[in-house]
Structures are given as C-alpha cells and as structure tokens.
Amino acid sequence: MGETGRYLYVVTRDLDPAALVDLPGLGGGSLELVEYEGLLAVVSSVDLDEYGEEGLRANLENLDWLEGAARCHDAVVQAVAAVAPAAPLRLATICLDDDAVRLRLREWHAALVQILDRVQGRSEWSVKIFTDERRPPAPAHAGGSGPDDERPSGAAYLQRKKADTEARLAGETAALEVVEQVHETLAGYAEATRVLPAQDPRLTRHEGTMLHNGAYLVEAAREPDFVACVTRLVAAHPHVTIDLRGPWAPYSFAMLDQR
Amino acid sequence: MTLAHPERTEPERRPLGDIALVDLLDRLLGAGVVLAGDVVISLAGVDLVQVRLHALITSVRADMVGTSARAEASHDG
C-alpha cells in the first residue's frame, strides 16, 4: 500500500464499537472511530493510489468498482444505522488524516447534530410510481384504421391526431393526480419527504415512465402502517405500478444546507 | 422489499438494470452529507452519476442511441 487516506462512511454518536466488529471496510481495511465532541466518524484507511483524485476519476467510470465501493460503503452505513442515528456521507469523502477528519466534524458540528436529531429512530423508504405501459388506456380510435401504407385523408389524419393528443393528455392528467394523491397520503405517515429526480430508464431499464421518485422518512413505530398504506395504494391504483423499497439508511435526509 | 403490481413480471436484467443499484448510487452520489474532503472531485453528485456512467450506458446500450440523443436534447433545454 502506498500513501493512505482516511475514508469517511458515516457520522454518528453513542455508537457501541461492537457494531463494527467483523465488518470489512473498503479494500478490507478495518473500521475505526474518530471522535470530536460527541460526534463519531466511522473511517478506514484507503490507498490513495486507488482513492486519490486520479485513481477515483478512473475508478468511478468502472461500474464494477463503483458497485463494490457503493455496496461496502452502504453496508457500513446500514450497520451503524441499525444501532445508532446515522448521517451517511457521500461516496468517496476522503481526508488525509484523523486531524483533518476532526476538523470537518468541528466545522460542521451543529449541522451534523441537527441531522442526527432529525433521523434518530427513523428510516428512509423509497416509493416510485411508473406508468404501466402494458395497460394502455383504451384506444381513442378503435377500429376503422386501414392498412399501414394507406395514406389517410388530411381531415381524417388531423382528427385522429387530435384524438390521440386528447387521450394522451387525459392519461397524463389522471396519472399526475394519482401521483399527487399517493404522495400526500404517504406524507401523512412520514416525518419528512423528498421528491427525487426521476431515474433514467437507460440505467434502471424500467418500463413505462417514472412519474414519481419519492423518499419518505418514517419513524420505526409507524413502518407497519406506512407499508400497509402502500399496499392499499397499490390495490387502489391498478393502472400504475407502485414500487416500494426500504428501509434505507436516511441518505436523502442527511443533506447539509450548504449548496 | 418490493410491492409491484402482481401482474407485472420483471424482465431479465443485466447488472446495469438493477433499480436497487441505481437507487443506491443516487443516494451515495446525489445525497448524503457532503463534506469537502482533502481529495476533491469537482463534479456535483448528480452530474457524477450522469457523466461517469454515460460512457457505460452508451456502450452497453448502443441499441438505444436514438433515445439517448433525445434524452440529452431535453436535458439541455
């Protein structure tokens, strides 16, 4: 190993170090705690050949590397979040030494405490809504269409196009109403919500259009009610696909208001 | 856990098509606490996903070049 840096996974407090035993850090490094006035950063040493600017630039373009790093980072965050409040750090936050880590904990102390207060005893749930392309709305112009190569008359063409547009707009409006209703209903079970950007279908390969990508911060005691509510919404809205995933560590609710 | 509509069956998926992985990367790169470390990556998180995975997407999904071009055009707008 060449020069090393300290990779930061998560900031927490009151953590029993037993939670980290046998859990590997990136590259097999062992996890350690860096403390500053009640805050604990979970860190491990990483090789700067791999995690320096140059190494990262190349490695972040390697999906296998990225996935491995992301899953390891998340495993550490999850292990911490299971037993203590957790403010997960963005992937690839690296300091040169423990003093540099403490400097960050000092600089952002108040904001980090605020995040830990916000997420304590709560988890993040992801709810996505997709249009279901396999169940298109009833066609507006059933029957009467000629062979493909037959050119429709100008008037018929315009009429058909208008009907198509109207059907599409009606479908979109209905879908947006479903999104609004689902989001509002779920927000009633959540301490906080965030609407994330819809994901690129080239990455997820989902079918249909992602209409909603919501994150919900849910109190542990309310999780059964939240999940039951999603189940009811799935049954109530058969024309869209509602996808529930969780619980996650509260990544989407651990944002510093600094940008 | 996943509660998709029961009639929906998932198509076969290559690793890139793993929604859970994309969810994870979205959160690890686009959310979480951003403390400027000593190793600086100049791009913002979301751009990181889009830019860094761009090469992979286009090479893996060369069959969707038309879609990509349209998607990018709308990003610019």
Residue of chain B minimizing CA distance to A194: B31
- A128 and A116 in a single domain? The answer is no
- A245 and A132 in a single domain? The answer is yes
Task: Output the pTM of the full model.
Answer: 0.76
d(CA A172, CA A67): 35
Model confidence at A133, in pLDDT bands (50, 70, 90)? Answer: low
In-domain check, residue A259: no
- What is the residue extent of each domain of chain B? 44-77
Q: Is A165 a residue whose pLDDT tops 50?
A: yes
- A69 and A159 in a single domain? The answer is no
- B64 touching A (Cβ < 8 Å): yes
- A112 and A11 in a single domain? The answer is yes
- Cβ-based contacts of B33 with chain A (< 8 Å): 11, 87-90, 93, 108, 112, 115, 254-256
> What local confidence, expressed as pLDDT, does residue A134 receive?
57
> What local confidence, expressed as pLDDT, does residue B50 receive?
53
| Strand arrangement, sheet containing A4-12 | A32-36, A39-47, A4-12, A86-95
- A71 and A178 in a single domain? The answer is no
Evaluate whether B31 touches A78 at the Cβ level (below 8 Å): no
- The answer to whether A202 contacts B71, with C-beta atoms less than 8 Å apart, is yes
d(CA A98, CA A247): 31
Evaluate whether A249 touches A125 at the Cβ level (below 8 Å): no
Q: Is B11 a residue whose pLDDT tops 50?
A: no
- A104 and A151 in a single domain? The answer is no
Q: Is A44 a residue whose pLDDT tops 80?
A: yes
In-domain check, residue A90: yes
- A36 and A83 in a single domain? The answer is yes
Of B5, B31, B34, the CB nearest to A234: B5
Q: Is B14 a residue whose pLDDT tops 60?
A: no
In-domain check, residue A258: no
CA atoms within 13 A on the CB side of A217: 19
- Over residues A45-91, the pLDDT tens digits come to 999 999 888 888 788 877 788 889 999 999 999 999 999 999 999 88
- A52 touching B (Cβ < 8 Å): yes
- Cβ-based contacts of A51 with chain B (< 8 Å): 39
Which of residues A101, A120, A139 is at a domain's end?
A: A120
Which of residues A100, A120, A140 is at a domain's end?
A: A120
Most B CBs within 10 A among A48, A212, A251, A255, hence the mutation to make, goes to A251
Lowest mean pLDDT across A27-36, A173-182, B6-15: B6-15
- A135 and A29 in a single domain? The answer is no
Chain A to chain B, count of Cβ pairs less than 8 Å apart? 170
- A109 and A128 in a single domain? The answer is no
* Number of structural domains found in chain A: 2
- A9 and A82 in a single domain? The answer is yes
Rounded percentage of chain A residues whose pLDDT exceeds 70: 90
> What local confidence, expressed as pLDDT, does residue A145 receive?
47
Non-local CB neighbours of A193 within 8 Å, separated by 6+ positions? A183, A186, A187, A214, A215, A216, A217
- Over residues B39-55, the pLDDT tens digits come to 766 544 444 455 445 54
Q: Is A160 a residue whose pLDDT tops 70?
A: yes
- The answer to whether A203 contacts B57, with C-beta atoms less than 8 Å apart, is yes
Residue bearing the bigger pLDDT, A221 or B55? A221
In-domain check, residue A30: yes
Chain centroid, CA A37 distance in Å? 30
Which of residues A97, A120, A143 is at a domain's end?
A: A120
Q: Provide the token pair at A197.
A: 């950007």
| Other Cβ atoms closer than 10 A to B61 | 18
At A24 the three-state DSSP class reads strand
- Over residues A166-219, the pLDDT tens digits come to 888 777 788 889 999 999 999 999 999 999 888 877 677 777 889 999 999 999
First vs last Cα of chain A: how many Å apart?
A: 35
- A86 and A144 in a single domain? The answer is no
Q: Which residues of A113-130 are buried (b: 16+ CB within 10 A; e: fewer)?
A: bebbebbeebbbbbbbbb
Here the CATH number for the domain that contains residue A139 is: 3.30.70
Please report the DSSP string for A84-119 in residue order. S-EEEEEEEEEESSHHHHHHHHHHTHHHHHHHHHHH
**Residue A82: domain span:** 4-120
- B10 touching A (Cβ < 8 Å): no
- A129 and A239 in a single domain? The answer is yes
Non-local CB neighbours of A179 within 8 Å, separated by 6+ positions? A129, A211, A212
